[in-house]
Amino acid sequence: MSVAENINKIKAQLPATVTLVAVSKTKPVNDLMQAYNAGQRVFGENKIQEMTDKWSQMPKDIQWHMIGHVQTNKVKLMAEYVNLIHGVDSLKLLAEINKQAKKYNRSVNCLLQLHIAAEETKFGLDEVELYQILNSDEFKQMQNINISGLMGMATFTSDQKQIAKEFSNLKAIFDKIQPLKSQNSTLDTLSMGMSGDYLLAIACGSTMIRVGSSIFGSR
């Protein structure tokens, strides 16, 4: 099936409340343009240089999402245009995003990444650290970021019950922090689910899924 057919097939399964992020890392601009011409406007990349190269070549109504782990010293390279940074897991990184976004007089959306998987390898905050950030005076004074919500990645396993439990736990935390909405935290996005588990994630309350191989083919 073509990229366009894959996009349409996936979108037909999605409720109107769910945003599809087309994970386009390592894929050529030509492939992305096929998705664009099929109506896709949200793309996810995991390397800032590659994302910047594509941003410079492609239509400007695209929303670019950084879905990889972000190093503080690289934030300045994407602050001008990035729409959403998925993997924010420290106050230090938030402060740098705020600082760099200010130079362009814009606000950058961020998702705080929670560690929900059984694996030690995944990045992320625990619930205590999440509250420490959202309640900190330093965070409350940041005017050039918006915490759009939370992101989490489930354990890489075939055990659907375990994955559902991890997604449900993240949804419960997402619901619990809703009273902390403020001028720099809209808390309206819950990003969980990828090519292998997005339908389960949606059933558990996800509002944003990241899909790559099911759109563009395996890497």
Mean pLDDT across the chain, nearest whole number?
A: 96
Tokens coding 156 = 């890489």
Question: What pTM does this model have?
Answer: 0.95
Show me where the domains of the chain are located. 3-211
142-153 pLDDT, tens digit per residue, is 999 999 999 999
Q: Is the domain defined by 3-211 classed in CATH 3.20.20.10?
A: yes
Tokens 């800032």 appear where? 48
Cα–Cα distance between 148 and 93 in angstroms, integer? Answer: 15
Give the angle 33-69-61 at the CA atoms, nearest 5°.
30
The three-class DSSP label of residue 22 is: strand
What residues form DSSP beta bridges with 43? 22, 64
| pLDDT digit string, tens, across residues 55-83 | 999 999 999 999 999 999 999 999 999 99
The pLDDT of residue 219 is 56
- C-alpha triplet 95, 133, 48: angle, nearest 5°: 40
Spans of the chain below 70 pLDDT:
121-122, 219
- With CA atoms as reference, report the closest residue to 149 among 180, 115, 105: 180
Of the candidates 193, 213, 195, 212, the residue with the CA atom closest to the CA atom of residue 203: 193
